[in-house]
Amino acid sequence: MLTSKKIVVCVTGGIAVYKAVALVSKLTQAGADVKVIMTKSAMEFVQPLSFQVMSRNDVYFDTFDEKDSSVIAHINLADWADLVIVAPATANVIGKLANGIADDMVTTTLLATTANVWIAPAMNVHMYDNAAVIRNINQLSKDGYSFIEPSEGFLACGYVGKGRLEEPEKIVKLVEEYFSPKDLPLKGKKVVVTAGPTRERIDPVRFLTNFSSGKMGYAMAEAAAVLGAETVLISGPVCIDAPPNVSLISVESAKDMYEAVLEEFDTASIVIKTAAVADYKPKDVHAQKMKKQPGEASIVIERTTDILAELGQRKKSQLLIGFAAETNDVIHYAKGKLEKKNADYIIANDVTEAGSGFGTETNSVTLVGKNDVEMQFPHLHKKELALQLLQTIMKLEKDETK
C-alpha cells in the first residue's frame, strides 16, 4: 500500500545506478510519489532524464538550482519525505554522512530530514570490508540510520562477494512491509466486497449499464486484504486487475451478482456492497439484434433484486456496509438507506462533486452508521480512503463492544 507515500531516492555514483532506475520505476508503479536526488558522480552513469521519466517528477542534483523560488529545495524535500532511500550508497557518501559533511544536494537533504533514512550500500567487496567503511556504517547505525544489506554475487569490478546493491524487487517489498499497517483488525475474518457496474442485456450487442469504474470497490477489497482479511471480490465488468491476495469472482448482470453474493454470504464476517448494481433490467431480452425502425422505440424495464435490502433481511452476525452514490441531499438519502436496507453503515458521496464519484482516482465521502455515526472524510486517493474507512469502522465496532 504505497499509494500517497512520499519517497525520496538519493542516487550516488556507482555502476549500480542502473538498478536505481528500476527501483524508482517499481516504487512509482506501486503507487508511491517518488522524487530523486543525484550526485554529480551518479550523473556520469545515468542521465537525470531517465529518473524523471520513471518518477514523473523533477530530478534534483544542484543545491543552488532552486526550481521553486518559494521554498529552499533541499529543506523542502527533507520535510516532504515519508522515507528516504540512498541507493546505491557509495563508500564516499557513507563516510560523509557518518561525519556530518554536507557538501552537495544529497548530503544536505540527508542531514536535514527527520524521516527514516535507509542506506543500501553497493561497492567492491574489499571496500565494503575496509575498516573505515565498517566504522562509518557502525556509526550511522548508532545514529539511527537503517541499512539494506548488499547481496553476494558477481561484481562489476570482476570480484565475487558481498557488495551488490540489493535487487529493486526486494527493496520495494521491504518498503511495502514498512508502510503496511502493523495492526490487523480483520485478521481471521472473511470480507466479501462487490464492485463495478452490472450489465443488463437488451440484445446480443446492447446492454444497460452505468459509469462505475470499480475503482472504489477494488480499493476496499485491497484494503481488507492488507488489514488481514480473507477477501472475496465479486466484480462486474471493469478494466482493473484484481488486487493481490484477493479472490476474484467475475459476474455480469445484477442476477449474477446476487447469486454470487448469496453463495458467500453465510460464511462472511463483513459484506461491503460497493457495486453500482442496475436497479432495472429489460423485461424481454431479444435473441437477435434489434434493427432500427422508423420513429420512436421503447424498452419495457423491470426492477432487479435489491441485493443490499435482501442481505439486510438475511443477516445474522454479519456486518453489512453499503455505498450510496447520490447527486443531492446526500446525508438525507444515506440515512434513509441505512434504515430501509437494515445496514450497519452507509458510505455516501456526491458523484457530481469534482474529484469524487465514478472514474476518479480520488473520493470524498461521509460515513453514516448506527448510533448516529456521521463522519466526513476529505478528498483522498481511493486506496488511502478505503484503508481509513475500514480502520475507522473496525475501531467503531471495537469501541461498541467495550
CA 193 → CA 44, 47, 82, 216, 223, distances in Å? 50, 45, 30, 10, 11
d(CA 134, CA 129) in angstroms, rounded, equals 7
Q: Up-side HSE of residue 96: CA atoms within 13 Å toward CB?
A: 20
* Burial of 302 per CB tally in 10 Å (0-12, 13-18, 19+): exposed
Cis before 88 (ω within 30) = yes
**Residue 306 backbone phi and psi in degrees, to 5:** -80, 100
Catalytic annotation present for 157: yes
Q: Is 341 annotated as a binding residue?
A: yes
Query: In terms of DSSP bridges, do strands 151-154 and 160-164 run parallel, antiparallel, or are they unpaired?
Result: antiparallel
In this structure, the dihedral spanned by the alpha carbons of residues 8, 377, 397 and 191, taken in order and rounded to 10 degrees, is -70
d(CA 166, CA 367) in angstroms, rounded, equals 43
Q: Is 337 annotated as a binding residue?
A: yes
Q: Is 279 annotated as a binding residue?
A: yes
Stretch (H or E) spanning 312: helix 307-314
Question: Of 71, 132, 157, 205, which one is the catalytic site residue?
Answer: 157
Sequential DSSP letters for 183-201: --TTTT-EEEEEESB--EE
Extended strands (E) in 48-159? 59-60, 83-89, 116-121, 146-147, 151-154
Residue set of the binding site: 279, 289, 323, 337, 341
Task: Point out the residues that are catalytic.
Answer: 157
Residue set of the binding site for CTP: 279, 289, 323, 337, 341
